[in-house]
């Protein structure tokens, strides 16, 4: 599947049942989102932005981001992160 990650088109192969959190951390090496309560999705430590909306990545199937835009803390400008 292809998707946009922090402004760059990425391709990934995911097994059924893989969460977006697992894809971002384990396969793509990003570390800003944390696994605080997976798969409950209640703590918010794994929050990312998908098509402009905040989602908890531990409860989001990775397949759902195919063709969509995903932003993580790594993709935000320093001025935005400081806020």
Give the integer Cα–Cα distance in Å for 78 and 23. Answer: 24
Query: pLDDT class for 82, splitting at 50, 70, 90?
Result: confident
pLDDT(83) > 80: no
Q: Which of 60, 47, 78, 62 is nearest to 3 (CA)?
A: 62
User: What is the spatial distance between Cα 82 and Cα 69, in angstroms, rounded to a whole number?
Assistant: 22
Within a domain: 79? no
Residue 48's closest CA among 71, 65, 19, 68? 71
Domain count within the chain: 1
Q: Would 30 be classed as within a structural domain?
A: yes
Residue 83 in any domain: the answer is no
What is the reported pLDDT for 3? 98
At 10, is the secondary structure helix, strand, or coil? strand
**27 inside domain:** yes
pLDDT at 79: 86
Range of the domain at 31: 2-74
Q: What is the pLDDT of residues 7-62, one digit of tens each?
A: 999 999 999 999 999 999 999 999 999 999 998 899 999 999 999 999 999 999 99
The CATH number of residue 46's host domain is 3.10.20.30
33 in a structural domain: yes
């Amino acid at each position: 599947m292809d998707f946009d990650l922090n402004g760059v088109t990425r391709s990934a192969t995911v097994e059924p049942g893989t969460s977006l959190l697992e894809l971002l951390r384990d396969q793509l090496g990003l570390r800003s989102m944390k696994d605080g309560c997976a798969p409950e999705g209640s703590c918010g430590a794994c929050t990312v932005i998908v098509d402009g909306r905040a989602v908890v990545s531990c409860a989001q199937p990775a397949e759902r981001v195919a063709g969509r835009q995903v932003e993580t803390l790594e993709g935000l400008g320093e001025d935005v992160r400081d806020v």
